[in-house]
Structures are given as structure tokens and as C-alpha cells.
Structure 1
Amino acid sequence: MVPPAPPDPPVTPKDAATVMLVRDSPDGLEVFLQRRVMGMAFAGGMTVFPGGGVDRRDADTSVAWHGPSPAWWGSRFSCDLALARALVCAAVRETFEESGVLLAGPDETSVVADVRPYAEARAQLVNRDLSLAGFLAEAGLVLRADLLRPWADWVTPVEESRRFDAKFFLARLPEGQRADGATSEAQDARWQRPGDALDDWKAGRSGLLPPTWTTLAELEECPTVADAMARERVITKLMPRVAREGDTLRIVLPGDPLYDDAPNHLDARPDDKL
């Protein structure tokens, strides 16, 4: 829903991390999806990947870290060292909070296979009673940045009152772990082939935001997790715009003929829907 009057000036986007958790199946690559609770202020009722906003404590430099350095992540996402560290930590934290999948291990060569001993810590992370750095230190775990791959950078349109600059990551489901979707932010969760998720959206059985359906279309081209993880991505900021066609509002993406003509602010009526 486009607000009646776009914020002026536009709201500054909040930094966020989104994780496409993938696994192989006999029928091809599957991705973990959650349908957000209808009443949520942002993307209520939409089918999304796990993710959320960066917490200021995600930039804690004491985190035990293995894999590409924050400087490497900063070069891929075109951001400074502190934000790059915070984004990777937010990706790991949000994945654990929302799906129960923990991208960490006792050392740099292993990954936790059974996350049940960390159920209390998971709840404390959700409630912000515990930071990721504190959790990993207490549990004697190392963050496995090498299990993540950079994928995309999406910014919420300027017309929205809640905006995010979301860095998209790809991660393989660690062996022995399962994604449970036990989060208050989702009403249901499932593993699905990207093409099937797109078919549900096209048939009106689910709602997808532009970054989600675009990413699903990209993942549909990957026959296996190994193929997806090996893809070299050139990452630039992508921001949808809102264009009017008669009485209809339409989200347009870079490359659409209407994109360059779409204003950054739009005088939309309260009943206009995207």
C-alpha cells in the first residue's frame, strides 16, 4: 500500500540483512520461505526470506570469525568495514532467530549439527536480551562467514514510510540442521522450489515483493546449491520505483521502460494498491 502522501524528505533506509537459505532435493534446489503475519507493519502477509534490521551490537569486533574478512564483504556490498561486519553478523543472527539455523561451529572447520542446546539463547536473541557476540562467546562458537555468499542489495522505494537497505545473502542449510520457522513474525514456513513459489504468486496464492520474486527467478536458474553458491554476482543497489498507468500504480524495476520516467515521489490516493 502506497501512503497517501510520500514522506518529504524520504525516510532514511535502515540497514538490514536477508538470507536465502537453500538445500538440494531430488527435484532440484529448494529455498526456505516464510509468510509474514498479516498484521505486521512492514510486508504483512507477504512471503519472504528470513531477515531483519541490523542491531547496533552486530558490529561488535569481539565476534570469533572465520571466512572472508569484513573488508572483503565491504568491497562486495560497497560499504565501510563496520557496516560490513554488522551485516554479516545480522545475517547469521536473523537466520538463527527466524529459522533456527545456526551458521556457526565449535571451530573453523565444523558447523553445529544440533541447535537444541541453544534454544534459550535463541529466545534471548529475539528479545534482545543477548547479543550475537555474547551468545557465540558463551557457547564457544565461531561465526562461519565462509558459509555465506553475497547476492544482491535492494532498497525500499522512497514512497514508503518504512524503508530498508537490505543486503541479500545466500547460505546452504548445514548438514544435520533443520529450518523450523518458529518465529512470531511468520504464520507459516516451508521449503519450496523457486519456480513453484513463483507459480503460487502468479496464481494469487501468495504475495511477493519485487526483491523476493526477482531473487526467486534468479535462483530458479540454479539447478543445485553448489551451482548457486558458485555464482559470481556483481552487486549494485536496486531500488524499485512506483509508476502510474492511468488509475493503476505499478512497481517498476531498473530496465523497465517506465523506470526512468517514474517520479521519486508520487501523489497517490489512499486506496491505490501495489
Structure 2
Amino acid sequence: MTDTAIPAATIVVMRDGRGERPQVLAVTRGRDMAFAGGALAFPGGRIDEADRELAKTFSDPHAAWKLAAIRELIEETGVAVALDPLPSEALVAEAQRRLHQGEEFAELLRQFALSPILDALIPFTRWKPAFTQARIFDTIFFLAEAAEGDWHPRPQPGECESAEWVSAAELLERIDGGTAHAIFPTKRNLERLARFGSIGEARADAAAFPLETITPQVETIDGKQHVTIPGGLGYPVTSEPLATAFRA
């Protein structure tokens, strides 16, 4: 385990009513990105110092993570959740443009008279890999319900090749079929999300398990090396052969 992990936040935005299963907002990361280039993922990113400063005005112990999640969602997809009043798509598009230009999220909230609703983000899981790689993130994943309306994602140039509403089951089918790939934590979370028939079921599942930090380990199972995670934390699949766990 390293003590230089980068604090980060990921947001799983879900919406009901578009099919038999809820849809999630997924992005395909830019192929030139240093971390998980070209992979399917959920919107998110590191906690920056401005997030920490803004978090001081809230009592929520996860305020910095939640604020980063809301900000990164806007930056990467042009979609907003957990803001009061609910902004229009046009206003969010303007906020996205100005965030890309380097304006502070706190200043945009002030100018647009928007207040974050931190309780709308539900802690779902926390992952902190320990494998040797260029960057290691200590990431809290949050659940959030999509705001009213048909939000049309606008992927951030350079960061995301695409952004779309799609069921977790369909994303897993793409990964299994070889038309897409995802890193180990994303696959395990898609498998967990694919079980839910509604956002309410996802919230109940999140409440049923503690927010323990999950650190995958390599173990030998039936003579072969597998990447494993602990059982009892809500995941239907807790191991995968090492040969496929990180294959692009």
C-alpha cells in the first residue's frame, strides 16, 4: 500500500424509466489519457485545493469529495445534479465552458446563485488499489439520481471521447464482447449496478454495506493467479483471473 494515493471522487448518475433497468451516465476516456486511456468509466477526478476550501463551508465529512464529483460531472459531461435551483442545460453548458477555461467552481456557484445539495450524493463504495502503476487513486464513488429532463451529455474534448446514458448490463456486454474495456474497479461496480431494477434498490444496497476501503489483492486460486476483493461488501463477482483483469 502506498501513502501517496491521490484523493478522488467518482459519481454514478442513474435514471429510471428508459427501459427495464436504470441507465447510468458513462464516459469513454480519451485514448491519450495517462490513466485508463480509452476505458469506459464514470465521471470523476481528483480532489483539488479549491474543493477543499469550498468544503469548509459545509459540515458534511465528505464535502470535498462530493463537491469534486459535482464539478467533475459538469466538466466531463455537461450534466448537472445536486444543485439548487436546478439549472438549465444552457446554463450548465456555460458553466462547463468556463470550468474548462479555469474558472473556480465556487465562483460559478456564486455568480449563478446555485447551492450544492450534498445530501443528494450517497456514498456507494471506496476503492484504493495498491498495484504498481503511474497513478494510484483513493476514490469514493457516489450515487446520484439524474435531474429532471432529458439531459444530453457533452463530452469534454481531450478528456472524454464520448458520454452516454446506457444500462450497466449493456456496458458489461460490450466489455465481454471485446468492443469496449474497463479497469478492474469499473467492471466490479458495473456488475453490482446491473443487479438493480431501480434507483431505490441502488440506494438500499449502498446503505446495507459499510464504506470500507477496497484494495484488490493477487491470490492463487486453483493454481492460477486472480485479482480478488473481499466478500460481504455487495459485489456479486469478487475475483477475476489476473490475465484478464487489466487487459485493454
The within-5 A match list for 1:86-235 is 86-106=64-84, 110-112=85-87, 114-127=88-101, 129-176=102-149, 178-184=151-157, 185-231=159-205, 232=207, 233-235=209-211
Which residue does 2:14 correspond to in 1? 22
TM-superposed deviation, 1:36: 1.0
| Aligned partner (choices 27, 45, 53) of residue 46 of structure 2 | 53
Answer whether contact 2:20 2:197 (CA < 8 A) is retained: no
Cα 1:250–1:160, aligned 2, differ >3 Å: closer, same or farther? farther
What letter corresponds to residue 141 of structure 2 in structure 1?
F
Task: For residue 28 of structure 1, give the secondary structure of its aligned residue in structure 2.
Answer: coil
Q: Which residue number in structure 2 is paired with residue 241 of structure 1? A: 217
Fraction of identical pairs, as percent: 28
CA distance in 1, matches of 2:75, 2:139: 17
d(CA) in 1 for partners of 2:210, 2:90: 37
Equivalent pairs, count:
234
Which stretches in structure 1 are left out of the alignment for 5+ residues?
A: 1-8, 75-83, 263-272
Deviates more, 1:19-28 or 1:40-49: 19-28
Deviations, residues 113-156 of structure 1 (Å, cap 9, x unaligned): x13124333222234x2222111111111101122110000113
**Matches of 1:20 and 1:118 in 2, distance apart?**
18
Per-residue CA distance 1:37-67 (angstroms, 9 max, x = gap): 11110000110000011111002247876xx
The reply on whether 1:12 has 2:14 as its aligned counterpart is no
RMSD: 2.9
**Amino acid in the other structure paired with 1:111:** L
TM-score (norm 2): 0.83
Q: How far does residue 104 in structure 1 lie from its aligned partner after superposition? A: 4.3
Give a deviation string over 1:66-119, Cα, whole Å, max 9, x none: xxx41xxx3xxxxxxxxx22111101101111121222444xxx422x131243
Instruction: Work out which of the two has the higher radius of gyration on C-alpha atoms and give 1 or 2.
Output: 1
Structure 1 residues 28 and 180: CA distance shift in structure 2, 3 A: same
Q: CA deviation at 1:253?
A: 2.6
Q: Given the superposition, is the C-alpha separation of residues 22 and 118 from structure 1 closer, same or farther in structure 2, using an over 3 Å criterion? A: closer
CA apart distance, 1:257: 8.3
Whether 1:44 aligns to 2:37 is: yes
Separation (CA, whole Å) in 1 of partners of 2:197 and 2:240: 32
Residue identity in the other structure for 1:148: L
Q: Structure 2 vs 1, CA of residues 209 and 173 (structure 1 numbering), >3 Å: closer, same or farther?
A: same
- Displacement of 1:244 in angstroms is 7.8
Structure of greater relative contact order (alpha carbons < 8 Å, 6+ residues apart): 1
How far apart, in 2, do the equivalents of 1:201 and 1:144 lie? 34
Distance 1:219 1:187 in 2: 23
CA displacement, residues 224-262 of structure 1 (integer Å, 9 cap, x when unaligned):
1222233313110111234689xx875333356899xx9
Question: 5+ unaligned residues in a row in structure 2: which ranges?
Answer: 232-237
Measure the CA separation in 1 of the matches of 2:68 and 2:203. Answer: 20
